[in-house]
């Protein structure tokens, strides 16, 4: 069992009781909610006449179903409109802060929590969304839950949980030019596999993370879940504190100093012990692209696609399924693979640094003929910032579409969908079958810079050729 | 629900095999069906895009196979339920009529959601998994019996060991998988905890 890690510290501080079943009852310091995974939970509370226990520890936004061409109500999709109405009605008179589109602070829940300073180190954070692991970038224990659990948090601000093991994922060294945090996390998932994280929290440590920006750390922690780990975190440091200082919901003045003292106190100690430690070298990582139907099925952009017959039995069937679905040929190169759509966005890669990276490449040319490229900022605040920097003009003059904030084509619950078996170069987090809205649509995951390069050439391109 | 009615110790019935590893919750229930604000219809959407083509014509799939009609147990592979936290996935499985899922391993959030709605998910070894799949493929009429008291699964003349976290097992056999009551009992301690956490107090002093 691990000891003296951030995971242990935060768990122990938030433990309310040991339940008769043997599970721990854990206080949830921050509850983030959105329209898709909450209506049934609110209905259950209403049915029983129960009130929200800690409304001021709960924050809401609208992100999954919101259209990105125009946020104007009513939405054209009647189901989406009903979902928005349900959220508004469920929040009315609860005291829960709602970052709705009119507030100017709406956006993807995992983008706005950090940018508003709601997300802070040393918290337990739950949300009915598996990418809640994103918030672990601040040194919090943040994890996705289901709707019944959303109801439990609304009602008691606690959950019954099993303690996880802790694996330290240590990456050291400087990243090569053209290699980004997205490539780091895709390389980690490729190296460890999509099942390795079952039962574990991942602590991302080492000099590569020490020198990574907060937005980069968010990208890495975001995809912990794709490696099977429900929780991923980075210990808080000066980079974290500098990011939070001055944000709307961050502590101010002397309270900020006291906060920093608390945030430092929960970090893993040098004498911490782990259930497992794995190490990677940053210099061995190149720009990554997925070719299959789970995020572990990836290759470096210069590599050939793997041969199923050389794989262990346990991976071969999934690889064969992936080749059948993707219509790719084992042994062929991923570089040069034609694409139809480019999606730059999602809770993984829709922050200002991601858009700057994409713009840096897109300003070198035009989106290739026949390719549809859409850029979807993660929040209204990211959109304003990008427009202040003129990034929107770069995207538009390159021939890409500049949209309103939301989850968009990551999971296609709004009108942004692939059609038929289109291939999408996507900065999102999941290349699952049908994920981007067409049951036969195909997703290749990559960094914003790589997606921008693919947009210019109309095919998978090594972005290092364009730097 | 009364506690006695919530107790789950055994699940018996025929079993349907779902082959393959890393089956994600997008595959179990595609995202477009999440726009409904109740779980009522989720059973209709289970594995929808694998079971039906674009004209809603059934495709070859174990859940469309008359041999497995009425199965109460689903046999799955490794890392079942990975990806999205959508509870719609276990709700679809349960509302389809499945009362227990037996596999090699399960994604953490999925397993937690199953526990929260009273759907036991248990794991078996690789070897046992292969034998169970072989058995039900050749004998679709075979009755399986899962016993959470003894942590065993009986199929044909064989019995194998099943595993699940002890706290989850306790929750099923004591009828406390619906944990609202367990958590509410400690509300005074929850309020006290909130007072002790410096950030809940706004780092006031």
CATH, residue B86: 3.20.19.10
* Cβ-based neighbours of B185, under 8 Å, separated by 6 or more: none
Task: Report the distance separating Cα A405 and Cα A346, nearest Å.
Answer: 9
From chain A, the residues in CB contact with B204 under 8 A are 255
Alpha carbon distance A269, B115 (integer Å): 34
Number of H helices, E strands in chain A: 15, 19
3-state secondary structure of A430: coil
- Position B4 scores a pLDDT of 81
Burial letters for A333-345: b for 16+ Cβ neighbours within 10 Å, e otherwise? ebbebebbbbbbb
By residue range, what is the domain housing residue B15? 3-204
With contacts defined as CB-CB under 8 Å, which chain B residues touch A226?
Answer: 83
The dihedral region occupied by A434, where left means phi > 0, alpha psi between -120 and 50, and beta the remainder, is left
**Dist CA A48 CA A30 (whole Å):** 24
Q: Could you report the per-residue pLDDT of A311-368, keeping only the tens digit for each?
A: 998 899 999 999 999 999 999 999 999 999 999 999 999 999 999 999 999 999 999 9
Q: Which residues of B touch A144 (CB under 8 A)?
A: 85, 109
User: What is the radius of gyration, based on Cα positions, of chain B?
Assistant: 19
Q: pLDDT averaged over chain B?
A: 96
DSSP conformation letters of A120-164: -TT-EEEESSGGGGGGGGGS-EEEE--HHHHHHHHHHSEEEEPPP
Tell me how many domains chain B contains.
1
Q: How far apart are the first and last CA of chain B?
A: 45
Question: Residue A255: which of B106, B174, B202 has the nearest Cβ?
Answer: B202
Has residue A306 got a pLDDT over 80? yes
Domains of chain A: 6-161 (3.30.499.10), 165-237+262-284 (3.40.1060.10), 288-466 (3.30.499.10)
**Any chain B CB within 8 A of the CB of A340?**
no
Q: What is the dihedral of CA A347, A351, A353, A359, to 10 degrees?
A: 100
Q: Is A335 helix (H, G, I), strand (E, B) or coil?
A: coil
For residue A387, which of A371, A370, A369, A375 has the smallest C-alpha distance? A375
Q: Testing the interface with B: which of A77, A148, A324, A433 to mutate, by most B Cβ within 10 A? A: A148
Give the list of residues 6+ apart from residue A307 with CB closer than 8 angstroms, or none.
A330, A331
Tens of pLDDT, residue by residue over A415-454, are: 999 999 999 999 999 999 999 999 999 999 999 999 999 9
- Report ipTM for this prediction: 0.97
Strand order in the sheet with A165-172: A231-233, A200-205, A165-172, A276-281
Query: pLDDT tier at B1 (50, 70, 90 boundaries)?
Result: confident
Residue A442 at interface with chain B, using a CB cutoff of 8 Å: no
User: Which residues of chain A are within 8 Å of residue B109 when distances are taken between CB atoms?
Assistant: 130, 143-146, 225, 230
The residue whose two tokens read 């080492």 is A206
* pLDDT tens per residue, range A242-277: 999 999 999 999 999 999 999 999 999 999 999 999
User: Mean pLDDT in chain A?
Assistant: 98
pLDDT recorded at residue B188: 98
């Amino acid at each position: 069992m691990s000891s003296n890690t951030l995971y242990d510290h935060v768990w122990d501080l938030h433990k309310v009781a040991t339940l008769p079943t043997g599970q721990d009852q854990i206080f949830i310091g921050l509850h983030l909610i959105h329209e898709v995974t909450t209506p049934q939970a609110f209905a259950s509370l209403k049915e029983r006449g129960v009130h929200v226990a800690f409304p001021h520890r709960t924050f809401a936004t609208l992100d999954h179903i919101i259209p990105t061409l125009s946020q104007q109500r009513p939405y054209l999709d009647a189901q989406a409109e009903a979902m928005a109405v349900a959220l508004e009605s469920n929040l009315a008179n609860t005291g829960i802060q709602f970052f709705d589109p009119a507030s100017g602070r709406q956006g993807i829940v995992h983008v706005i929590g950090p940018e508003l300073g709601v997300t802070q180190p040393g918290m337990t954070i739950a949300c009915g969304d598996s990418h809640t692991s994103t918030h672990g970038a601040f040194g919090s224990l943040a994890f996705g839950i289901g709707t019944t659990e959303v109801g439990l948090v609304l009602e008691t601000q606690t959950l019954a949980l099993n303690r996880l093991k802790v694996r330290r994922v240590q990456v050291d060294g400087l990243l090569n030019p053209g290699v980004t945090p997205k490539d780091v996390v895709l390389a980690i998932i490729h190296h460890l596999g999509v099942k390795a994280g079952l039962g574990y929290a991942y602590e991302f440590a080492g000099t590569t993370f020490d020198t990574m920006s907060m937005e980069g750390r968010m990208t890495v922690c975001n995809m912990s879940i794709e490696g099977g780990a429900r929780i991923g975190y980075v210990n808080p440091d000066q980079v974290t504190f500098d990011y939070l200082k001055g944000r709307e919901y961050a502590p101010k003045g002397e309270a900020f100093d006291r906060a920093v003292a608390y945030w430092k106190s929960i970090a893993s100690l040098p004498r911490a012990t782990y259930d497992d430690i794995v190490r990677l070298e940053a210099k061995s990582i190149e720009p990554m692209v997925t070719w299959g139907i789970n995020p572990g099925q990836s290759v470096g952009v210069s590599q050939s696609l793997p041969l199923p017959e050389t794989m262990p039995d346990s991976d071969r069937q999934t690889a064969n399924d992936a080749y059948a679905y993707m219509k790719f040929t084992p042994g062929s190169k991923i570089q040069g693979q034609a694409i139809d759509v480019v999606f730059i966005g999602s809770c993984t890669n829709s922050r200002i640094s991601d858009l700057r990276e994409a713009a840096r490449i897109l300003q070198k040319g035009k989106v290739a003929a026949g390719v549809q490229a859409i850029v979807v900022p993660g929040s209204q605040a990211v959109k304003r910032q990008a427009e202040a920097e003129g990034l929107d003009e770069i995207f538009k003059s390159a021939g890409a579409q500049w949209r309103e904030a939301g989850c968009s084509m990551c999971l296609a619950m709004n009108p942004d969908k692939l059609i038929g078996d289109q291939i999408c170069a996507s900065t999102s987090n999941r290349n699952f079958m049908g994920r981007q809205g067409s049951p036969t649509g195909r997703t290749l995951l990559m960094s914003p810079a790589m997606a921008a390069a693919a947009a210019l050439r109309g095919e998978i391109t090594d972005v290092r050729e364009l730097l | 629900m009364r506690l006695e009615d919530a107790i789950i110790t055994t699940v018996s019935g025929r079993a349907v095999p779902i082959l393959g590893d890393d089956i994600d919750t997008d595959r179990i229930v595609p995202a477009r069906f999440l726009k409904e604000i109740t779980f009522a219809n989720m059973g209709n959407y289970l594995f929808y895009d694998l079971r039906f083509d674009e004209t809603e014509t059934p495709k070859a799939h174990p859940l469309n196979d008359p041999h497995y009609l009425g199965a109460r147990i689903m046999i799955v592979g490794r890392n079942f339920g990975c990806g999205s936290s959508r509870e719609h996935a276990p709700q679809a499985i349960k509302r389809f009529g499945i009362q227990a899922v037996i596999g090699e391993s399960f994604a953490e959030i999925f397993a937690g959601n199953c526990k929260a709605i009273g759907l036991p998910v248990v794991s078996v070894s690789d070897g046992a998994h292969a034998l169970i799949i072989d058995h039900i493929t050749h004998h679709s009429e075979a009755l399986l019996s899962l016993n959470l008291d003894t942590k065993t699964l009986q199929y044909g003349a064989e019995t194998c060991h099943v595993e699940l976290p002890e706290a989850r097992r306790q929750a099923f056999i004591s009828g406390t998988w619906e944990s609202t009551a367990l958590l509410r009992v400690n509300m005074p301690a929850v309020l006290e905890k909130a007072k002790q956490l410096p950030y809940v107090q706004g780092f006031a002093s």
